[in-house]
Amino acid sequence: MNELLANPLVQSAVVPLLVAFVAALVLRPAGGVVAGLGFALGFAAGAYLINKGFRITPLSSTNKLILIGGGAVLFGLLADLVLRRHWLRPWVLGAAAMGAALWLVWPRIGRLEGVDLWLTTLVPMLYAGWLVASTDSLNDRPVNLVLAALALAVGTAVSAVLGASASLGQLGGAAAAAVGAYVLLFLIRGAFAPGGGFTVPAATLIALVGISAIVFGRKLPWYVLIPLALIPLLARLPVPAHWGTFGRSLLVLLYTAPAAAAAIAITWRVTGAPPF
């Protein structure tokens, strides 16, 4: 069993997918603020195996990312309870994500100056703020939301593997697998709004994996994030309401997959072919 759980594919795909699917299946009837918690549980299971436990010290970028993910779950639930349809919601979520991104990259900022300093400060903050606010705004379109999150997670995970590190790519893979569980559940049981308990941690973690890849990986240019940032906008393209879940999912995937592929292509061009 230990050997099986040590397999990178099991850690970053199988376990997060299974845990997220079972949790989402159980929590779906409850609805409300808890319906989307399957993502967080699936990602946490994968992160626990990948990171060999949950640790606060040393406060590395990976440990920070996981801590922020836990905080994002609570923040998403609180947003559903207090700011469910309030006009301030995207601004509050975006500002919180910007603060999280700044805390994540802070150790690198002190070593830079000039243009590099501004790029390393502003790009992560703007990207995280935009991704969380725009992804959360899709919550009233559940099919569009989960397919957009899947495209974001896959594009980010593959880019992180190619341009940063295997462990960072594994965390991105865990996020993709946990989102994929909701795609499967939608296809089997029908779509439902997963709420801030899904959108906020999913968008936050995916954003921070991408940010970590360009800031700490030191191989990727910042513009690899541009096609990924377009995905929430592409997911807003019209989808026929009378189409079934499968048809709508396929169409949103066709809208968003090219942007994810573009991010991977940019990464491949910059870093070259992977050594495996």
Q: How far apart are CA 58 and CA 49, in angstroms?
A: 17
For residue 88, give the 3-state DSSP assignment.
coil
Q: How far apart are CA 152 and CA 156, in angstroms?
A: 6
CA atoms within 13 A on the CB side of 25: 12
Instruction: Quote the pLDDT of residue 1.
Output: 64
Which pair of tokens denotes residue 219?
Answer: 């191989």
Instruction: Quote the pLDDT of residue 154.
Output: 96
Instruction: Quote the pLDDT of residue 251.
Output: 95
Instruction: Quote the pLDDT of residue 218.
Output: 66
Residue 10: count of CB within 10 angstroms of its CB: 16
Among candidate residues 213, 237, 246, 22, the one with its CA nearest the CA of residue 148: 237
Identify the residue whose tokens are 């808890």: 34
Q: How far apart are CA 178 and CA 28, in angstroms?
A: 15
Identify the residue whose tokens are 């066709």: 254
> Residues in the chain with pLDDT < 70?
1-6, 31-32, 218, 273-276
Instruction: Quote the pLDDT of residue 276.
Output: 52
Instruction: Quote the pLDDT of residue 5.
Output: 67
Instruction: Quote the pLDDT of residue 29.
Output: 82
What residues contact residue 25 under an 8 Å CB cut-off, 6+ apart?
Answer: 38, 185, 189
Q: How far apart are CA 233 and CA 252, in angstroms?
A: 11
Identify the residue whose tokens are 């939301």: 145
Convert the pLDDT of each residue in 72-89 to its tens digit.
999 999 998 888 888 889
